[in-house]
Chains A and B, each alone.
Chain A
Amino acid sequence: MHKGALPGGEAMTKTMKSTTLLIVALLAALGLIASACSSDDTADAGTTQGPQIILGAQDFGESAILAEIYSQALADAGYDTRIQTLGGFRDISMGAFASGEINFAPEYVASLLEFLNDNAGTASGNLSTTLAELQTELEPLGLEALEPAPGVDTNAFVVTAETSERLGITKLSDLANLDSPIKLGGPADCETNPFCIPGLRSVYDVDLSGSFVGLDSGVVATALGNGEIDMAVLFSTDGRIASENWVLLEDDQNLLAADNIVPVVTAELIDAYGEAMAKVVNAVSQKLTTPVLIELNRQFDVDKQSARDIAAAWLADNPIG
């Protein structure tokens, strides 16, 4: 489920709720099995001494690909790494940091900030201020954000080329000119997410709450392609936007925030490996541009390749250091 990565989900309360705990336990168990099955992820534990780097991957393609890329790059540089598969909710990955099950996770600057600050709405399109606020939130948790990548993955409001032409819409502000609300489909949190329906209402003065249908992220694109919904909430890096020739409506009034890819690590990891590790990670991040993300996601969603193969091929074509 993709929605864990969406910005602005209601933040986790300090004491975990009982249902959440249950799910955490369940998924942790699944994760243990998954990690047991993939123990060969552990690359040559050769040159570098210190704690194992455990990367948390949420259960959607981009998260898995990014975890693989960072893991393989670090392994190539001589670090002992493995990947811990997590559920689709952000409170699980944050819980995994707290319990020591992971010490590294590819994250999104604005979404993580909004999650940690209880949806205060301070995330904006300005990357540096948003990143600074994120570091402030991370510090008391013993976490640190490394350099963000240029690549951004935000909510993307997407229509088919045919709809775009028929209704004459290319940017979000065009939605206000329509006679009747456009039919929107997307993950269920869109109804409460400040960067989705509430944001469209406040920034663009368009109320789509009555014409919204919540869908599993796996079928949103199907529904759009078959014309069952007029507009889909996807990720800006979704590979199908390019392959299907869909139109990503321009965020002309800056509703969406700076959701750049950012590796989050524990302070303990920084203490152990210092600049050497950060250098490897930052070198990877630097190359992760939005077009790169779109292509990697396309290989996953459209070509149905595995995250590990995609990561290995990309690293081979783009050697680090």
Chain B
Amino acid sequence: MSAIGEFIDYVTTAGNWTGPKGLLRLTVNQLLVSGIAVVVAAAIAVPAGLGFGHVRRGGLAAVSVANIGRALPSFAVLVLAFGVFSQAGRGLSIWPTAIALTLLAIPPMFTNTYTGVRGVDPRIRDAAAGVGMRRSQQLWKVEAPIALPLVMTGIRVSATQVVATATLGAWVGFQCLGTLIFEGFAQQNDGKIITGAVLVSVLTISIEVALSKLERRLSPWATTPSGGPVDEPPDPTLASPFHPGRPA
């Protein structure tokens, strides 16, 4: 049977959708672990990025530190996290995967938030201070909203990476869509492999699309084309109210 055929066969078998290792449960788990990772990472990375960006110092060092997380192979982090949690008897749980994904999610969110706040036009910061905003108001009313499109991009990039990478959780015993791929390879079951791969792709793309929409929705001003209209030519009758009576 062709690979496509096996895939169709797998997803059209009702029994594959239900039960503790059914597609529904696996999809929910994949989303659950991704959700935890994105929320925890955002709770750490966004305030940190806002803070470093607002005070405008120490950020470069922080970005470098955060990016170490990006350089580490996810699978190595996952195995390490498993080892740590396993010592507490919690290795076979959602947590090793959630923590490894959190570390993966932090760098893009932190870097984008920091860059977004750091990049606010100094004249706009000046204006915010100049109109009499307190420091916190400058951050929350001006810097943070202006950085929001970049913050959201960071969250979107992280979230799509996380959803796709959550697949690896299967290798440390976390039941998710990756389990289909993990078992499919070991059991020479192409239907399972393709089903897993397709569902992961569908989830990743859906989240990418949904977050892009949310991004545009949250910052309508950012989509306004820059460069406004040219000033209309002045009305000549206003230019000089008093005409000397010049010879005709």
CB within 8 Å for A9 and B89 given contacts A213-B173, A214-B179, A223-B173: no
Measured between alpha carbons, how far is A213 from B89 in the docked complex, in Å? Answer: 15
Q: Are A215 and B173 closer than 8 Å at their CB atoms?
A: yes
CB contact list, B168-185 vs A, under 8 A: 170-173, 179, 182-183, 185
Known: A12-B188, A18-B3, A214-B183. 20 other contacts (CB 8 A): A3-B186, A9-B186, A10-B189, A18-B2, A20-B190, A89-B185, A91-B188, A187-B186, A213-B92, A214-B170, A214-B173, A214-B182, A215-B171, A215-B173, A216-B79, A219-B79, A219-B91, A219-B172, A219-B173, A222-B82
B98 within 8 A of partner (CB): no
A188 within 8 A of partner (CB): yes
Q: Are A227 and B186 closer than 8 Å at their CB atoms?
A: no
A-B pair count, CB < 8 Å, reads 79
Look across to chain B and name the residue whose beta carbon is closest to the beta carbon of A10. Answer: B188
Q: Are B86 and A222 closer than 8 Å at their CB atoms?
A: yes
Q: Are A19 and B173 closer than 8 Å at their CB atoms?
A: no
Chain B residues whose C-beta falls within 8 Å of the C-beta of A223 in the assembled complex: 82, 86, 91-92, 173
26 pairs across A/B with beta carbons < 8 Å? A3-B186, A9-B188, A12-B188, A17-B190, A18-B2, A185-B92, A188-B187, A189-B183, A189-B186, A192-B186, A213-B173, A214-B179, A214-B182, A214-B183, A216-B171, A216-B172, A219-B82, A222-B82, A222-B83, A222-B86, A223-B91, A226-B86, A226-B91, A227-B89, A228-B89, A228-B91
B193 within 8 A of partner (CB): yes
Chain B residues whose C-beta falls within 8 Å of the C-beta of A89 in the assembled complex: 185
Question: Chain A: interface residue count, which band?
Answer: 20 to 34
Measured between alpha carbons, how far is A40 from B87 in the docked complex, in Å? Answer: 41
Measured between alpha carbons, how far is A228 from B84 in the docked complex, in Å? Answer: 12
Closest A-B pairs by Cβ, 3 of them: A189-B186, A188-B186, A216-B171
Q: How far is the CB of A223 from chain B (nearest CB, A)?
A: 6
Look across to chain B and name the residue whose beta carbon is closest to the beta carbon of A225. Answer: B86
A191 within 8 A of partner (CB): yes
Chain A residues whose C-beta falls within 8 Å of the C-beta of B194 in the assembled complex: 19
Q: List chain B positions with a Cβ less than 8 A from chain A.
A: 2-3, 79, 82-83, 86-87, 89, 91-92, 170-173, 179, 182-183, 185-190, 193-194
Q: List chain A positions with a Cβ less than 8 A from chain B.
A: 3, 9-10, 12, 17-20, 89, 91, 185, 187-189, 191-192, 213-216, 218-219, 222-223, 225-229
Tell me which of B171, B182, B188 has the highest count of chain A C-beta atoms within 10 A of its own C-beta. B188
Look across to chain B and name the residue whose beta carbon is closest to the beta carbon of A12. Answer: B188
Q: How far is the CB of B86 from chain A (nearest CB, A)?
A: 4
CB within 8 Å for A188 and B172 given contacts A223-B86, A226-B89, A227-B89: no
Q: How far is the CB of B195 from chain A (nearest CB, A)?
A: 12
Q: Are B187 and A189 closer than 8 Å at their CB atoms?
A: yes
Q: How far is the CB of A86 from chain B (nearest CB, A)?
A: 15
Look across to chain A and name the residue whose beta carbon is closest to the beta carbon of B194. Answer: A19
Chain A residues whose C-beta falls within 8 Å of the C-beta of B79 in the assembled complex: 216, 218-219
